[in-house]
């Protein structure tokens, strides 16, 4: 009887292990092939729109023979513009895509450490929802920071937010300010300006501040990256093999538009 019970127990354990092993995620791996070597990238499960779109384009061969058309040493390497496939030397690139954008999937857990894969996008007020390009991406190279530099960055980023809010407030108040100036009412003008600043301070106090987490600080002071982009672009994967290839591409000679003077082409495949 004891022997039978032992066999049953072993079978249950094996079954349990098998069931656990079959609980796979949708995590995907892709390989970006270049003349400088291969870059293997893991796509995150918690950015499914970007993951699925990237896998779709890779499966269709969309990226075959496209260029890394924008390369900035100590920052990032960018590619995915379909116009780069047949672009002559000197032609400025960066406006092409598949004809659609992807809703932002910006998550605090994914930040711009060295080696992450992120979606390029149109910046500025024309894209308030921070929607991503349908095909263009960049891989971060960045630099290693000292802790004091990160402290300064936090102050700079928060001051930038406050300045932006102040500019928007003054822009909205232009008609009222013009009235005070037309009446040559300097006391009234000064009082109105003070109220604008006070209101802006109140709005600023309700906004989330730029504050790096311990995980971000650890990454940026060891492997490096580009923290000022955090919260602005969707990060949807990271390099698991081939970080050195990024460094090789990042130092190629570029023109005034940061396009390599000698084309750096790619082919992206699903990892086998």
Q: How many alpha carbons lie under 13 Å from residue 184 in its C-beta half-sphere? A: 0
What distance separates the 2 farthest-apart alpha carbons in the chain? 103
Angle, helices 174-182/147-172, rounded to nearest 10 degrees: 60
* 18 pLDDT tier (thresholds 50, 70, 90): very low
pLDDT value, residue 218:
98
CA nearest 246: which of 226, 227, 269, 232? 226
pLDDT value, residue 258:
97
Residue % of the chain over a pLDDT of 70:
90
For residue range 192-246, what is the model confidence (pLDDT) as tens digits?
A: 999 999 999 999 999 888 999 999 999 999 999 999 999 999 999 999 999 999 9
Q: 247 pLDDT exceeds 50?
A: yes
CB atoms within 10 A of CB 69: 26
**Of 35-44, 50-59, 62-71, 169-178, which gets the smallest average pLDDT?**
169-178
CA nearest 116: which of 135, 137, 140, 134? 140
Q: 10 pLDDT exceeds 50?
A: no
pLDDT value, residue 50:
98
pLDDT value, residue 90:
87
* 26 pLDDT tier (thresholds 50, 70, 90): low
C-beta separation of 225 from 118 below 8 A: no
pLDDT value, residue 11:
45
**Of 7-16, 45-54, 91-100, 250-259, which gets the smallest average pLDDT?**
7-16
Report, as an integer, the average pLDDT of 117-139.
96
pTM: 0.84
C-beta separation of 142 from 114 below 8 A: yes
Q: 77 pLDDT exceeds 50?
A: yes
């Amino acid at each position: 009887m004891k022997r039978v019970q032992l066999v049953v127990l072993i079978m249950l354990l094996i079954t349990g292990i098998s069931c656990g092993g079959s609980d796979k995620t949708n995590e995907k791996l892709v390989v970006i092939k270049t003349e400088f070597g291969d870059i293997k990238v893991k796509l995150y499960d918690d950015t499914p729109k970007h993951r699925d779109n990237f896998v779709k384009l890779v499966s269709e061969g969309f990226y075959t023979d496209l260029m890394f058309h924008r390369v900035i040493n100590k920052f990032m390497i960018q590619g995915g513009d379909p116009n780069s496939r047949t672009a002559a030397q000197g032609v400025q690139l960066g406006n092409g895509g598949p004809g659609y954008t992807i809703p932002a999937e910006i998550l605090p857990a994914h930040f711009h450490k060295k080696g992450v894969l992120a979606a390029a996008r149109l910046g500025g007020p024309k894209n308030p929802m921070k929607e991503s390009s349908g095909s263009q991406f960049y891989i971060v190279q960045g630099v290693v920071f000292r802790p004091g530099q990160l402290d300064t960055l936090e102050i700079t980023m928060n001051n930038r937010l406050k300045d932006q809010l102040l500019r928007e407030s003054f822009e909205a108040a232009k008609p009222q300010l013009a009235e005070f100036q037309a009446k040559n009412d300097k006391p009234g003008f000064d009082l109105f300006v003070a109220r604008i600043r006070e209101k802006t301070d109140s709005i600023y106090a309700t906004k989330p501040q730029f504050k790096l987490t311990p995980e971000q600080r650890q990454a940026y002071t060891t492997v490096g990256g580009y923290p000022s982009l955090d919260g602005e672009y969707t990060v949807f994967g990271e390099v698991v093999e081939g970080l050195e290839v990024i460094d090789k591409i990042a130092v190629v000679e570029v023109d005034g538009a940061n396009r390599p003077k000698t084309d750096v082409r790619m082919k992206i495949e699903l990892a086998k």
